Structure 1
Amino acid sequence: MTIRRTRSAALTVLAASAVLALAACSSSSPAGGDKPAEASGTVTITDNHGEVKVPVNPKKVVALDNHVFETLSEWDVPLVAAPKGIMGSAFPKYTDDKNVTDIGSHREPNLEAIVAAQPELIIGGYRFGESYDEIKKQNPQATVIEINPRDGKDTFSELKRESEILGKIFNKEADAKKLNDKLDTAMADAKGAYNGKDTVMAVNTSAGKIGYIAPGVGRGLGPIFEPLGLKPALEIEGASNNHQGDDISVEAIAKSNPEWIIALDRDAAFTPEDREAGSKPAEELIKNSEALKNVPAVKNGHVIVLDPNFYLTEDIQTYTALFEQIKGAFAAA
């Protein structure tokens, strides 16, 4: 049976198809597969204090949490103010931009500069956690959120949660998923490269001293032990997350005879004039230590030194790179 259409009917079909195509374009995901903004212009997220409505793609953003700087930079999110005093040279997109107001550091923050920027969204927390109430009070026109990793929670689940929240706010959900998937892959690969028996010591170096970082709770490196199944060379009861590491003697570290040492060089993130007196590069400090010279990790060259900016970032990108670095070192051993 042959179906015949009149010219007018065909035009009607074409017109309808065009309308449908336009509608599909307006409702489809932007490039990269990210979901469109809610019609209301806000999205409800759960931050560290509870549910809060946040503007989608806010034009004026202040970011204070160092965990978010790299993600916002990758997504080309402009900032009106940021704490350049604690960003080092890791985030030139913001620190070199004169249009981004410097609010200093968390120790002496210029909170009035935030007020003057008249932001729609303030991403606070972490080092600026103590200023949360004051920032909210001073900026009633803005939505203030804290989404940094919470104490007592799994660090890597928290970092992925942070990505997901940022993805919802900035229409970058597909990109957020890529960040999270990359972290999961790097973590799994590092675990797969570990032989399951070599003992591992995590240390922090600062002001020419080597400090012990406790598995699980220690600052920066403590959280990597459990997901990688690393066998600690030394476990101390009552260890802390002190940013300089616990005050355990180098001799005690040496006595534990670690087969691997992973070192966070805290001073490396700062310019030479801002470093503490006696500061030396972590690799030099460890390899030249008289107490550590006969430790297997040093003798076999099994010393992994973190990216110089690790202490300033501690974000999902930095941990992903760390796991990739650990995988490479383990695989090459």
Structure 2
Amino acid sequence: MVKNIHRSLVSAVIAVSLAVTACSPAEDGAVEEEKGASASALTLKDNNGEQELHPPYERVAVTDNRAFEILSDWGVHIVAAPLDLVPDTLSKDINEESVEANLGSHREPDLEALVAADPDIVVNGQRFSQYQDDLESLVDGTPVVDFTPRDGEDMAKELIRQTEAMGKIFGHEDDAKALVDDFNAALERAKKAYDPDKKIMAVNTSGGEINYIAPGKGRFYGPLFELIGMTPALEVDNASDDHEGDDISVEAIAQSNPDYILVMDRDGAIAKDEEGYTPGQKLVEDSSALKNVTAVKEGRIVTAPQDTYTNENIITYTETLNAMADAFEKN
């Protein structure tokens, strides 16, 4: 009987001891919490250096035109944006009703409105890159990231870098990978379909005029010359990356006799509702100076999506590359 009581007491002591051992790690719990906290930390290098980030982010301000469509498609909650720069194609999701603060435009920004919106991260870039310091001071302690494609860098790599960074920050890495895969496939398709014996001209239609987009440095289409290996129909000294393209004579464009003309319709993005607006492709097709050009006679005119000038993201490039591939494959 005494032995049985002794055994029972020993068992009870062991059981209590095991229970205490199992429960005691308030320390283990703390370790797990610490691991969880450090696992959520994210260090990324953007255009201004290393950024230590702590997602998830629930109140997002976006000033970068190249990020609007991506984040909107992913359902990211945007609390502040320069609505004057948001393309009409995205205004259903990014508008006065959906955002708490309209930051205006890069020409007359209302940066103070950002403070009232109380974002937990700001995705800055492109036209608003110039306000980086101002934004940082207004939202002191809140990260302001900028992954705008950098001048002088490979545009394909820069678009991928930006997209992948957005995926990591906002927990959409699989979606970002899908965008990158689509872009790479479109680029490879355009490369494969293009015949280097065919001469290419890129133009920007602005103010009803047809302006030259320089291979390499010109807006939107410029980088595609090198990425695809396209043969320029015309190369001009001292060409620029001007947002309206370079002003050279339509006769000079005609004389170069391009086999394909690539059109970015700037007016289509910012002035399509104005009186007298003519779509860029129609301007090219109806130009008397261009009527005998091979590209016009053969119907080899490729127009980027109408909102391209204010929506130059990886999705827009993918759509344009596929349209170019379609044209190259037909001819």
Give the TM-score normalised by the residue count of structure 1: 0.85
| CA–CA distance in structure 2, aligned partners of residues 192 and 210 of structure 1 | 29
Q: Deviation string for 1:163-208 (max 9, x for gaps)?
A: 1111111122222111111111100001111122110000000111
| CA–CA distance in structure 2, aligned partners of residues 102 and 63 of structure 1 | 10
Which moved further from structure 2: 48-57 or 316-325?
A: 48-57
Matched with 1:73 is 72
Matched with 1:298 is 296
**Aligned pairs, number:** 296
Tell me the amino acid that sits aligned with residue 238 of structure 2: G
Matched with 1:321 is 319
Q: Deviation string for 1:71-102 (max 9, x for gaps)?
A: 11121101110111011212121126344421
| CA–CA distance in structure 2, aligned partners of residues 308 and 331 of structure 1 | 23
Q: Deviation string for 1:112-151 (max 9, x for gaps)?
A: 1101111110011210011111111111031111111011
Matched with 1:90 is 89
Matched with 1:52 is 51
Between Structure 1 and Structure 2, which shows a larger proportion of helix residues?
Answer: 2
User: How far did residue 303 of structure 1 move?
Assistant: 0.8
Tell me the amino acid that sits aligned with residue 187 of structure 1: L
Matched with 1:62 is 61
| CA–CA distance in structure 1, aligned partners of residues 266 and 209 of structure 2 | 11
The percent identity for this pair of structures is 43
Q: Which runs of 4+ in 1 moved over 3 A?
A: 37-41, 96-100
| CA–CA distance in structure 2, aligned partners of residues 99 and 121 of structure 1 | 15
Matched with 2:29 is none
Please say if residues 67 and 314 of structure 1, whose CA atoms lie closer than 8 Å, have aligned partners that are also in contact.
Answer: yes
User: How far did residue 325 of structure 1 move?
Assistant: 0.6
| CA–CA distance in structure 1, aligned partners of residues 212 and 54 of structure 2 | 43
Residue 288 in 1 paired to residue 291 in 2? no
Please say if residues 89 and 95 of structure 1, whose CA atoms lie closer than 8 Å, have aligned partners that are also in contact.
Answer: no
Matched with 1:266 is 266
Give the TM-score normalised by the residue count of structure 2: 0.86
Q: Deviation string for 1:239-283 (max 9, x for gaps)?
A: 10001111111010101010110010000013544x4x7542112
Give RMSD over aligned pairs: 1.6
Counterpart mapping for 1:218-297 below 5 A: 218-273=218-273, 275=274, 279-297=277-295
Matched with 1:176 is 176
| CA–CA distance in structure 1, aligned partners of residues 311 and 160 of structure 2 | 15
Counterpart mapping for 1:111-150 below 5 A: 111-150=111-150
**Structure 2, unaligned runs of 5 or more:** 1-31
**Structure 1, unaligned runs of 5 or more:** 1-26, 28-36
Please say if residues 200 and 258 of structure 2, whose CA atoms lie closer than 8 Å, have aligned partners that are also in contact.
Answer: yes
| CA–CA distance in structure 1, aligned partners of residues 197 and 95 of structure 2 | 44
